[in-house]
Amino acid sequence: MFAALFIAIGLIAGLSISSRFDFQTTSLGQDTKISQDSIDMLTKTNKAMAEVVRAVKPAIVNISSTKTIKTQPMQNPFFNDPFFRNFFGNEFGNMNAPREYKQSGTGSGVIIDKNGTILTNNHVIKDADEIKVKLSDKREFKGKVVGTDPKTDIAVVKIEAANLPMLPIGDSDKLMVGETAIAIGNPFGLNQTVTSGIISATGRANVGIADYEDFIQTDAPINPGNSGGALVNVRGELIGINTAIFSTSGGYQGIGFAIPSNMAKAVMDTLVKNGKIIRGWLGVSIQPVTPELAKQFGLKEERGALVGDIVSDSPAEKAGMQKGDVIIAYEGKEVNEPSALRTIVANTTPGKEVSLTLLRDGREIKVKAVIAELTAEAAKQSADFENNLKGVHVQELTADVKNSLDLPKRVSGVVITDIDPGSPSEGVLAKGDVIVEVNKKQITSAKEYVAEVAKIKSGKSILLLIYRNGSTIYMTLS
C-alpha cells in the first residue's frame, strides 16, 4: 500500500514538472542506447544469480516456536481475607494464582544434511515447548532440539525426514570483503525471501550479541524473522547463519551480522557428537593493547592481545609463555584484539597443538601449545562467572602495573583490564578500577579474586570496594 502510494506521488510530481518546463523526454530515448554487450553481460549475471537462488532456496526452512510464559500472581492480602471473599465472592481469590499464556515466535533455519539436521539461532527456539518446521514444499514437521549454545547463539534442530535438500557448508575463513553475499530467510513471516549485497567486514567482535563473537558483517538486507537463515556465496555454499541487525528503528539499516559457517559447524559437530559444548582453553588472562601500554612495553603498533596473567599448569605456562607477552598470531591468523583470540581458542579442539606468534621484549618469537578443554574451573579463571562480575577481566597488581597506574603502595587488589560488552558490570565498573574487596573480603591476588567471585551465585548482589581516582568507594552490583 505504502509503496503504491509512493509511486503514485512520484508520477504526479513528474507530470506537474513536465508541463511547466516542457522537457524533451523522447530525445533521451532516441539518443541513449544500451550496447548489446552490456545487455548480454547483465543478462548472464542475472541468470547466474537466479541459478544460485533456485539451488539454495529449498534448503531454507521456516521455524515457528511456542513457549509457555508464567506471570507472577497479584499479591494482595485482602484477597485471602475471609470477610473480603465472603463479601465480594471467591473469584477474587483466584487472582493470587499464577497465570500462564502461550507466546509464539518465528524464525528461519538451514538444512545441512539430507536426514533433517537443521542449523538455526538459539534465540529462535529458546525455551520452546513446541517447534514446527515448515519446508519450502509446504510440508510441516515437528522439530526436536539436539543441542544449544547460548554463548554463540547457535542451536541444532532435528526433524524426522529423509532425502531433503541441503546446503553445503563453505569455508568462512576464506571470505573476502567486497564479495557477493545472498541472504535467505523468512522476515516478518514472508517465507523464502531473498536479498543480496556484499561482505562488508569479517571478524566483527564486541558487538554485544553473544559471548563468543566473530561476526560476518553484510549489507544484504536482513530483517526480524531472518534469524537462523542462510548467508550464502555465489557457489551456493553456506557461509553464515544470519543472526542480528544493527538498527535504531527496528528495521534494516544496512548493517547485518551472521555467525561464520566455520564457527557454526564447529558448534554443531560438538553438540551432535558429545551432546554438549566442548571448548578449547589456553589459560591466559588477556587485555587490549592501548596506546599507553604499547608505549610501556615498547610496541610499535597497538595490536594483539597482551598477556596479563597465566594460569598455573595451563597450556600457556607449559608452552613457556610469560606475562607481558603480546599474542599477535594464532595458527598463522593475525590477532588484532583479545576478543578475537578468545573466540579462536574456544573453537579449537582440545588436544590440538597450535602455533602462536608472540612479541616479547621487542622480539618476535614462536611457541607451540597443546590446547586443553575449558572446564568449569578454568572458565571461572577466565572471567566466565555466572554472576554480576561475568565478563570482567582482571590482572595482578604487580610493581610495574602499580607504577604505570601511579597507584599508592597501600592499595592492594586486582585491576580491571577489560569489560566485555553486555556484561552486567558494563557502565558501572571501568577499566583501571582496582577491586580491593569483594563482599567485604580483602583481595590481594587474582587467585583470591577468582576464589571469592566463584562462590557468588547468579542473581545475587555483590558489594565491592573500589579504588578509583585517588580514593576508595563502595559499589553494589545488583
Residue 368 is placed in which grid cell? 607451540
- Conformational region of residue 392, where left means phi above 0, alpha means psi within -120 to 50, and beta covers everything else: beta
Q: Provide the annotated active-site residues.
A: 123, 153, 227
Q: What's the rounded Cα separation, in Å, for the pair 145 and 126?
A: 10
- Cα 170 to Cα 60, 238, 239, 240, 403: the distances in Å are 16, 5, 5, 9, 49
Burial (CB count within 10 angstroms: exposed 0-12, middle 13-18, buried 19+), residue 317:
middle
- Give the number of other CB atoms < 10 A from CB of residue 315: 23
Q: What's the rounded Cα separation, in Å, for the pair 43 and 405?
A: 64
Helix or strand run (H / E) with residue 40: helix 36-56
Closest alpha carbon to 412 in 442, 383, 451: 442
Closest alpha carbon to 468 in 408, 393, 390: 408
Closest alpha carbon to 141 in 114, 165, 160, 162: 160
H-only helix segments in 57-111 = 82-88
The number of CA neighbours under 13 Å toward the Cβ of 100 is 4
**Which pairs count as long-range contacts for 288-294, CB under 8 Å and 24+ apart, including other chains?**
288/337, 288/338, 288/418, 289/326, 292/404, 293/404
